[in-house]
Amino acid sequence: MSAPTPVGGAETQAQDQTTGRPPQRYGALQWPMLLWLTVVWVVLWRDISPLTVLGGLVVATIACLVFPLPPLHVDVRVRPVALLVLVGRFVFDVVRASVQVAWVVLRPQRPLRNGIVEVNLRTPSDFVLTVVAEMTSLIPGSIVVEARRSTHTLFLHVLEVGDEAGAERFRRSVLAQEARVVRALGRHTDHLDDRPGDRPGDPTEAPEPTEGAHR
C-alpha cells in the first residue's frame, strides 16, 4: 500500500497544543498503569500469592520504563442532555453508514474512489482526540490510520470519499462529531476555535484515490 496522501486541514505544528511545549514521551511512572498491569499479570497466572504480585509489579515497572506512554489528562464534565444527543446521533450515523457500505458492496462493480482525509481537531484535549477517533472508527466506512497527539490531527481512510467536495463533507462531519463530544463531555477550558482550513471556503485538495480498496 502506498503512503497515504492527506486531504485538507491546516499545516501541522511541532509542539503540543495543550502545553505549548514539544510533547514529552518519558516521565514518571504512572501508578494506575502499574496497578492495572499487575492485576492483569495476577489474573493470567491465576495465583494471588505475594511472589506472583511482586513479580507482576516488577514486570509492570519494566514494561512502563521500556515502553512509556504519555499521560492522558482526563477532566470530564458530563452534561446529560448533550450526552443523549451525542449517543443518539452516533447510533443514527452507524445505521446510516451501514446501509451505505452495504450498497457500495452489493451494487454493480465499479472502481472505488477511496482516500485519506486529514482532519485537524479544534480542541487541544487528548481525551477529546481519543473519543473522536474511537467513535469515528466505529462508524462503518471510515477508520483512523494515524492520530498525532502533538497537533491533535487525525488521518482517516474513507470508503468511497469521491471528489474534493466529498472529502470536505466528511471532514466537516468529524468536526461536528468533535463539537458534540465537547458539549457532552468536555471541560470548561475546551474550545472549538476555528483553525485555518476548518472554516467554510478554505481550500482543500482532492483525495488520492485507492482503487478497489475495501474496508
Asked whether the predicted pLDDT for residue 153 surpasses 90, the reply is: yes
* 165 and 94, same domain (yes or no): yes
> Does residue 130 sit in the same domain as residue 38?
no
pLDDT digits (tens, 9 = 90+) for 177-202: 999 999 999 876 566 655 544 444 34
Same domain, 35 and 120: no
- 147 shares a domain with 95: yes
Same domain assignment for residues 49 and 135: no
Do 136 and 174 sit in the same domain of this protein? yes
| Neighbour order of strands in the sheet with 142-148 | 115-120, 153-158, 142-148
In this predicted structure, the answer to whether residue 105 has a pLDDT above a threshold of 60 is yes
Choice among 53-57, 110-114, 134-138 with the minimum mean pLDDT: 110-114
Q: What is the mean pLDDT of residues 195-212?
A: 42
Predicted confidence (pLDDT) at residue 124 exceeds the cutoff of 90? no
pTM over 0.75: no
Does residue 55 share a domain with residue 13?
Answer: no
Q: Which CA distances in Å does 128 have to 82, 102, 134, 175?
A: 15, 30, 10, 11
Same domain, 59 and 38: yes
**117 and 86 in a common domain:** yes
Place of cell 482503487: 211
Helix axes 80-106, 164-185, angle to 10 degrees: 150
208: nearest Cα among 72, 35, 12, 8: 8
Q: b/e for 106-128, b at 16 or more Cβ within 10 A?
A: eeeeeebbbbbbbbbbbbbbbbb
Q: Supply the range of the domain harboring residue 37.
A: 31-66
Residues 160-176: tens digit of each pLDDT:
888 888 899 999 999 99
Q: How many domains does the chain have?
A: 2
Instruction: Please tell me whether residues 121 and 50 are part of one structural domain.
Output: no
Q: Are residues 9 and 79 in the same domain?
A: yes
* Residues 55-60, mean pLDDT to the nearest whole number: 93
One domain for residues 145 and 61: no
